[in-house]
Amino acid sequence: MTIWVDADACPVVIKEILFRAAERSGVEMVLVANQYLKVPALHTIKMLQVGAGFDVADDEIVRRCVPGDLVITADIPLAAEVLGKGADALNPRGERYAPDTIRAKLSMRDFMDTLRGSGIDTGGPAPLGQADRKAFANQLDKWLAQRKRATP
């Protein structure tokens, strides 16, 4: 079981929560990014730097993740791909992506992208707040507990 982090856009505060969880639980974590990122000196935390380019990090995460892994991403298409491989996906606001709702999320994302492309200001997401950080930490802890129970 590995936690894969789509690290280029992952907020620092979320990475800090992930680092503490990896240290506490001993779960392997790999941060995947186009640029070098400093990570804590723990044997369970690794940084994988990939080449520059659109979706290069996403493609590497999809290629390497396996059923039972967790992917941390706000990228809905990436979440859809890893769910299709049997991995779990969690966004930095604490929302766990689900196979039965991911198609609707992809459709809404595409719709909003079309609106933005036609010049309509759709606004952006609200800043990451304390409630988001708490929701993320709670969902991460829940996932870790489920994996611990499932592992003999």
Domains belonging to the chain, first-starting first, are 2-122 (3.40.50)
**Cα within 13 Å of Cα(42), Cβ side:** 18
Of 126 and 38, the structure prediction assigns the larger pLDDT to: 38
First to last CA, the chain: 13
DSSP state of 113: H
Within 10 angstroms of residue 152's Cβ, the number of other Cβ atoms is: 3
Of 83 and 100, the structure prediction assigns the larger pLDDT to: 83
Amino acid (1-letter code) at residue 78: L
Residue 109's pLDDT is 64
Residue 110's pLDDT is 67
Q: Is the pLDDT confidence value at 67 over 90? A: yes
Q: Is the pLDDT confidence value at 107 over 70? A: no
Band of residue 70 on the pLDDT scale cut at 50, 70, 90 = very high
Amino acid (1-letter code) at residue 123: G
The predicted model gives 45-50 an average pLDDT of 96
Of 148 and 19, the structure prediction assigns the larger pLDDT to: 19
Q: Is the pLDDT confidence value at 121 over 80? A: no
